[in-house]
Amino acid sequence: MDAVVARGAVELGADITPEVAEAIVRKAGGDARSALSTLELAWQTAVAEGSELEPRHVADAARKRPLRYDRAGDQHYDIISAFIKSMRGGDPDAAVYYLAAMLEGGEDARFIARRMVILASEDVGNADPRALVVAVAAAQALEHVGLPEAQLNLAQAAIYLARAPKSNASAQAIWNARSEVRERGIQAPPAALRDSHYAGARTRGHGAGYISPHDDPAAAAVDHLPDGLEGHTYYVPSGNGEESGDGSRDG
């Protein structure tokens, strides 16, 4: 990268000190095109001022140009993947870093917020039900106040999600249940659970034998799945956080 900057300086006829060259390399983040663009803009600014090229010109040029971040390419996917995995892995510092990288790179903040809302249910779930509330609140705050102020809301949510206990039990439950429906079709509910309010429903036995758990708490232990699926378990609590004492069915 030093050689790239040196060649660029020669082509521009720019006098460049090692300190300035180091500043350009650091700001470019390994991107030769960004380094040359920063050098050119910094040099133009120095010439316009009638001064020597200094690190302050480099800092100013770097602020005026976007950082190396390809929103349509691999880096977009690499950074958002790292962001999600950092929150999932319980690393708030890494989560904030990748959030900062995306914001500085011009990523769509709504896209970031959507990913956090998804993660709140997919990777935290009922181990901490408040995680979804926090993520949705951050997404709503983004709409209300916009950037740059909403960076505070997004950072708060990212840190909360990273530090929250983790469970994908809810996600596994819906994935497994939908797989069952696709494979076996939609099975009819037991007669006791069917709607008994329309004409002729009761003559078909709909609602017969249904007992509300408000009337008898023991009724809550009854298997509500369709005939042939009794005892199937889709939701398996993780044992983390607020899922540690869940009273789901055995089976």
- Quick one: pLDDT at residue 247? 43
Which is nearest to 161 in space by CA: 87, 248, 250? 87
List, for residues 179-227, the tens digit of each pLDDT value: 999 999 999 888 777 887 777 666 777 877 777 888 888 777 778 888 8
- Quick one: pLDDT at residue 70? 61
The domain over range 74-163 is classified in CATH as 1.20.272.10:
yes
Mean pLDDT, range 13-21, rounded to an integer: 89
| CATH dotted code for 169-243 | 1.10.3710
Could you tell me the residue ranges of all domains in the chain? 2-64, 74-163, 169-243
- Quick one: pLDDT at residue 34? 79
- Quick one: pLDDT at residue 40? 86
Residue 102: CB atoms within 10 Å: 24
CA 45 to CA 113: how far, in whole Å?
37
List, for residues 143-154, the tens digit of each pLDDT value: 999 989 999 999
- Quick one: pLDDT at residue 73? 59
pLDDT over 70 (residue 246) = no
CA 139 to CA 113: how far, in whole Å?
5
Question: Which CATH code of 1.10.8, 1.10.15, 1.20.120, 3.30.70 fits the domain covering 2-64?
Answer: 1.10.8
Percentage of the chain modeled with pLDDT above 70: 90
Mean pLDDT, range 108-123, rounded to an integer: 96
What would the 3-class secondary structure string for 123-136 be? HHHHHCCHHHHHHH
CA 235 to CA 43: how far, in whole Å?
62
